[in-house]
């Protein structure tokens, strides 16, 4: 049967059949999780949803949690849930596998969760800190022009040489 293999999801697509592997849902991303991972996922989602108004949506291979911009996302994987949390500081802790600078103001913290009991402080505290980050960041201040130091006399060009 003629067709092609999708280079994103590796699924075989019959000729003439519509295919959009980027359109996905939370359910589709979490349907193959083990019981432990499913419970951990539900606890993460409940915890984050309790923070306040936000948008929770599936995108590609991750489930995004967003206010004005994404403050963390979860990648459901076979053996764990990979959580990527955006904070305004680098956190060094046993739960954090890796920290990478993502912008001048944010660091992404990669955390792997394998069980519901791991979804507790300090991880939940970091999620809340990431949610609150836009509220705490000071608005950008306009730089003031540099002023000349009055103690340093300028040499005058030409003239009487006073």
Per-residue pLDDT tens over the stretch 82-113: 999 999 999 999 999 999 999 999 999 999 99
122 prior amide bond cis, ω within 30: yes
Contact between residue 46 and residue 56 where contact means Cβ atoms under 8 Å apart: no
Token couple for 139: 């608005």
E strand segments, the chain: 3-5, 12-14, 55-59, 62-66, 70-76, 81-87, 96-101, 107-113
pLDDT score for 141: 54
User: CA Rg, the chain, in Å?
Assistant: 25
pLDDT tens-digit readout, 24-79? 789 989 999 999 999 999 999 999 999 999 999 998 889 999 998 999 999 999 99
Count Cβ neighbours within 10 Å for each residue of 5-19 and write b for 16 or more, e otherwise: eeeeeeeeeeeeeee
Token couple for 78: 């076979």
Contact between residue 119 and residue 126 where contact means Cβ atoms under 8 Å apart: no
Q: Cα(109)–Cα(114) distance, rounded to whole angstroms?
A: 16
- Predicted TM-score (pTM) of the model is 0.72
Helix (H) or strand (E) holding 35, with range, is helix 35-49
């Amino acid at each position: 049967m003629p067709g092609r293999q999708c280079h994103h999801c590796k699924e075989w697509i019959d000729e003439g059949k519509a295919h959009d592997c980027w359109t996905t849902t939370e359910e589709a991303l979490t349907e193959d999780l083990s019981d432990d991972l499913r419970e951990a996922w539900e606890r993460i989602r409940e915890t984050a949803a309790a923070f306040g108004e936000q948008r929770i949506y599936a995108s590609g291979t991750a489930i995004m949690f967003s206010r004005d911009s994404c403050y963390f996302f979860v990648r459901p994987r076979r053996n764990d849930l990979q959580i990527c949390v955006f904070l305004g500081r680098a956190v060094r802790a046993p739960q954090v596998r890796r920290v990478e600078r993502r912008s001048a103001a944010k660091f992404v913290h990669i955390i792997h969760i394998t069980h519901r009991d791991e979804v507790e402080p300090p991880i939940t505290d970091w999620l809340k800190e990431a949610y609150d980050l836009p509220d705490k960041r000071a608005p950008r201040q306009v730089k003031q022009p540099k002023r000349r130091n009055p103690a340093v006399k300028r040499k005058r060009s030409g003239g009487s040489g006073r």
